[in-house]
Structure 1
């Protein structure tokens, strides 16, 4: 859930989302794989 909350927060700040996106995508994919 933390990844979802972080994505929602970053969506309100596009520049931050662009900076963080690669790491967040990797973390999100890892979270999906480990479910």
Structure 2
């Protein structure tokens, strides 16, 4: 689903970190997809 899409999080505070961490931890995205 998210395999080829870049992911951007605006305002990467605690909630942004949690979202990014969850995506990476569950291997839904790769680190190079995160902007």
* Alignment TM class, shorter chain as reference: 0.3 to 0.5
| TM-score under structure 1 length normalisation | 0.35
| TM-score under structure 2 length normalisation | 0.35
Rg bigger for which structure?
1
